[in-house]
Chains A and B, each alone.
Chain A
Amino acid sequence: MLKEEVSRYYSDIMEKEPDVSASIAAISTLLKLLEHDKSETVQELDLNLQSAVEVITNTSFRVTGVSSGCALFMRFITFAKLDNITFADCKKVMLDRGKVFLKKLTEARNKVAKITLPFFVDGINILTHSKSRVVLEAMKLAVNSQKRFHVYVSESAPDKSGIEMYNCLKKLSIPCTLILDSAVGYIMERVDMVMVGAECVVESGGIINKIGSCTMAICAKELKKPFYVLTESYKFSRMYPLNQKDLPNNFKYTANNLNDDNLLNAHPSVDYTHPSYISLLFTDLGILMPSAVSDELIKLYL
């Protein structure tokens, strides 16, 4: 498959199915590539996949989500390779397994929502940040289970994704309030817990999420409010940022800005939240402590 086709396929999915997360879109693209791939050896296949990953990364608006998904897919390929002898057999197995794999991943969001349900206590006030499809799913399930709660959404400039979240919640007839990003310190004493999604979960147990999440987490810690992160397990990544500066540039800034030489004038779109501020992670693998993330990654990659 040519690079343009890969790119087109990927962008198609992203536009037509807004509910699908960037990682899933990347993985489906790569699976599609696998189907149409005409390579004869494993190495050729590998090369093709690598270049496809590059293309996707460059096309994507949200690089953070894509990187972990692609890494996971490559690992998947590695596992499949080891079992079989002939290449034809190998490919067949890969395709079969790939479908199962994709199916499991798409079900992850529902699993997370189910696990979060007991934490929605009647009368609770929740603070959330930016638009997260997982959080939305969890709240949808809670409202359908007759739970009553109030949500405060922060605007999350500059792309105003908080307003999108607010509209979605309104459609689900969940009582909600839109607040300024700067009002987080003010509102924190009124809420009972903070619930956010994550674009990427790193090896330290911390998360990379829309800018403003770190501030919210620090504020929550100071006022002793639990800070919960809802995420699917395919977002676990092997990165280990030491501080905000240590985040890769292509995460923080979009492709347009990267061309500028002076990045100091650009606004980063994500930040890193240290694991000490996170109370619990709700994933499709269960409720995890931040220290369990590293455990999972070690089991997978080593």
Chain B
Amino acid sequence: MGITRRRFLQGSALAGAAAGAAAGQRLLFGELETVVAAHPALAVAPSVEDFVPTTCWIGKQDCGIIARRINGRVISLAGQPEHPLNLGALCPKGPAQITALYDPNRVKTPLIRTNAKGQSGTWRRASWKEAIDLVAARVKETRDKDPKLVLWQKGRSKAKSFYDDAFVNSLGATKLGHGTYCSDAGYRALEYTIGLTGVLHPDFRETRYLLSWGWNITNGGGNKFCWITWPRQMLEARERGMKIVQIDPRLRGAGPFADRWLPIRPGTDLALALAFSNVLVAEGYVDGEYLARYTNAATLVRNDGTLVRVDGVPQVWDAAADGPAPLETASQPALDGAYTVDGMPARPAFELYREQIASYTPEWAADVCGLAADEIRGVAIEFGRNARIGSTTVVDGVRVPYRPVGIAAYHMSQQELGFQAVRAMLMMTMLVGAPGAVGGQMADTSWKIDKNYTALDEVEVKDPPYGYTLKSSRYFPINSGFPGMVAKVMLDPRRYGVEKLPEVMITHYVNPLVSFLSRREFIESYAKFKFVADISPWLSETADYFADVVLPAATLEKYEGPSSANDQYTDAVALRVPAMAPLFESRGEIDIYLDLTEAVGVLYGEGGYLDELNKSLKLEPPHALPLDKKPTPREIFDHWALAQGIEQGVSHFETKGVYVKGPLKPAKRYGYVTDPPFGGALHRFYGESLLRYRNEMQAKGAEEVYWRDYTPFPTWRSLTMDASPAEYDLDLISYKLIEHKQSRTGFMPLLAELAPRQRLDINPRTARERGIADGDEVWVESQNAVTGETRRVRTRASYTEAIRPDTVGMPNHFGLWADPRARERGPSPNEIYYVGEGYMTNTADQSFLVKVRVSRA
């Protein structure tokens, strides 16, 4: 070949003998031979290599992916460098989903059930026409009676405009999501208090002091972002000097990144937030200007808890004029003092708050939360000090208040007192004026006020009969739409004053039997559906037991979106583009819905699916879809892209994957400087309407369990689970693993190889007391303190020093059986939680609190 190279010392000992001193030294001291590597040379050139941009299909934030193809066959998935959310990176689920794409165990054709429901299904293959016609006929039959009795339930929302909005609206169906298992109590608290749909997160570019609260930092993602955007922003913030206080019974997700760990007892976050607030108020870390100007803290409250109103307008005490005035006109709204208005005593809401918060001392909370009082006080003071109340800074030429402290919290909202706990945490940041400040408290990527800001303030508590979601009922005036409660209602409609139950259910990639809590209720209630159609790439456990028809959805091989690619600093939007033709006979969900609405007769014309799509995608002429012609998904996205001002239309996404609009201006990001400030929402420090609901619920005869947490200020009470017998001495928490996504990945072999099976995280001390060795099989038995019911699962003990000794943890995955590869990986902890009074919030959200006992199996 003409290339000089030092070859291996070949042959036998002779070579060694002949090789002289240098070789002798090499022999003695074992120096290594090297082979010259020089000219890059590829012997096998791939025939046709191309790259297709698409998006991740497993996770929440739809990271940009580039599918590398050889002769049209996808051989690997890598990150899109231009996508602001992942900047070319991926989490383990990104590359691993390639096995899901080719998985021969996907549902290959439409399936029609051939055996009775309530057991593992047997199926026959059907044509798309037969399956769609069957579903359409059953939907139509029920819809003609009452559209609300058609229930559409989803587990993931990858194209909200197409599914949640257009499809549900065109049918007039009832929609249920999975948010009540996720973080909806927090969403409601934020919508109600500051008008934003989201949960608490920091302004990572500027935050200096972060309370990572029940937030599994590197494994948990967030309500808007996944495991890539957050950790990267968090690391960059840490490298700039941000400190992290981890408030969590379990340390693992925060790993090496926590500067301080407060291992709080599960379910006591409200008490801790109240104690933090107590210290902030006592130490004078109060941003009076923010509270007086942008919240209702100065509003005058009568002794009965209602606001002082003049002509319907709430009044504050204007210290300058020494009299009541609307907030807008008051030059000096007072936060303290006691006044008389119209001959009746009234005090600013903040004065009441100050009085109430005084009893929630760190010493008190130390007992409740299982922490040290000094530690609570110390963190609160550091928080207050780092808030730098009164300071401002200039961002992109705009002067904005600077409060570089914040809270990151997410799924922790799903606990018995979740709504009020999140409200109390938010109010803690409100005390220092952090919401919407630079470095301060964020909850969304914009300050667009959600309609729930008003709606949750104006709920009309009605008399029965109620709809089966118990909306506007005396039970849950603020109602997140809880599938678990719907199941309970279906089992006993009269108990809840419900007359009509859902008859047809369309499950859109959701698996309530495994991923929702309390399987028993679902199994019993789903047996009552007259017809269930499931849309999913895999046969879910729910479909296995209850689907009449399964419609196979494609995975990466479809058009879907649009999805936001906004990382809270750069605005961008992306589309999923098919990485290859759909495998088997699967189809994209949009195709399925176009066919289904056509077959039901609600595709065309006004109020039809196409018309609803024009509304949800904001397609105006000339880009609006014609209402009399069935488009392809690609055509719809082309209309949408053109309407967005993207000249090349959908082909922009087919070549680039993401459309980057540019950096977000401070006037978009920071509530203080939006126009109007904070999107025009007055922050509800005082929740007058919460008190009103309480009174109305009582008046309509609701039991205390429903109304007790409707208080104008967050108020601590003891937890239902604490009434469990003493032998149930441990708290069970569940959490996410980065390798898995809910119940959707347990059967994906590459991911299952990394996180193969269920386990019980247990402190070695706790385990040894029970004679449990690392790896032993154990029973975990939970107890419902209200009904006395017990449930148990069997798993393996896994020693960890990173968990409170009185708490045990299980990842929130596994427990699947429909796919043979997912079996024998252990149970899901969801099986031993409870649904129902005492185990849910006042907003009809699931609570993940339960007492368990652990014993060797």
Partners in one complex: no
